[in-house]
Structure 1
Amino acid sequence: MGFFENNRLVELITDYLKTQFELIKLDIQEKLEEILVRIFKLIFVAAGFTITLFFLLLGGSEWINQVLESRFIGYFIMAGIIGLASLFLFLSLKPSENESE
């Protein structure tokens, strides 16, 4: 009878491990779904901010054109400002030589 009781114990342990594995799999799946939903929302928010910024810059360019009584100078001024801001951000992202050592 002892042999059969050992088989039952092994079967119980195996079932327990399978259950724990399934629980871990479900937890990972839930976390992954949560991350994907957050990424999807972030993409929509970023697109909204990008469109808003585009129209603000376009309006600002038109206003500068009207003030300066020009058709193109406002666009060049805005492009220059955005170019400088982008260059500043790009240079701030590059690691300096001292940090890599």
Structure 2
Amino acid sequence: MTVIKINAITVPKDAGDELAHRFAKRAGAVDGQDGFEGFELLKPTDDREQWLVVTRWRDEESFQAWLNSPAFGHGHRSESERSGGEAPKPVSSHSELWNYEVADLSQG
């Protein structure tokens, strides 16, 4: 059963472009993980400040294996940190992880 993990990240309006830029820099960091099925970064189109990072996994075990892997830590470090530099200032003020599974699916 596919599981969905949504990281709801609160980002001030003036920092959204920077968040998108940082995600683009680590594009593909999770792609090779066993059980990984997909990723989307959703940008709000209304007055909300919550960006959604949506990942799909074959099962909870696959997600947990990635969460506890060295690849997770490496993928969540900035380009500067991976080069031995300092971490950039965070662009978000809050985040929370939402957990879902697919209850119904329609494909067109």
- TM-score, structure 1 length as denominator? 0.25
Which is greater in Rg?
A: 1
| Structure (1 or 2) with the greater strand fraction | 2
Identify which of structures 1 and 2 has the higher relative contact order when contacts are C-alpha pairs closer than 8 Å and 6+ apart.
2
| Structure (1 or 2) with the greater helix fraction | 1
